[in-house]
Amino acid sequence: MIRGRVVGRFWATKRIEHIPSGAFLEIEAAGGGRMIAFDVLGCGEEEEVLVVTGSTAASWLGGGKIPIDALIIGSLDEPGKTDKPKSK
């Protein structure tokens, strides 16, 4: 999964069929780079989220013809990241 931060939102009135209810949010990945992920949790700007990509995103939404390849699966409680240098 990719860890990132919500930085924007997009709308697409002209669209293909079978896009479910939800929002297209722009995510800035923790390591750099941006992507558009589908959101059904109601995430807001600056929220830190986990994004799943690929056909797994469509499968969760019901599979078949659903054309979504990136889905927010959760909002992070707290960073809690540690990165201690490896002791020799």
- Footprint on this chain of its own copies (rule: CB under 8 A): 1-3, 5, 7-16, 18-19, 24, 26, 28, 30-31, 33-38, 40-41, 45-46, 50, 52-60, 63-84, 86
What minimum distance in Å lies between the beta carbon of 81 and its own copies?
4
Greatest alpha-carbon span in the chain: 57
The structure tokens listed for 52 are: 């799943």
What minimum distance in Å lies between the beta carbon of 21 and its own copies?
14
DSSP state, 40? S
Contact 24, 38 (CB under 8 A): yes
Q: Which is nearer to its own copies, 3 or 21 (CB)?
A: 3
| 3-state SS class at 38 | strand
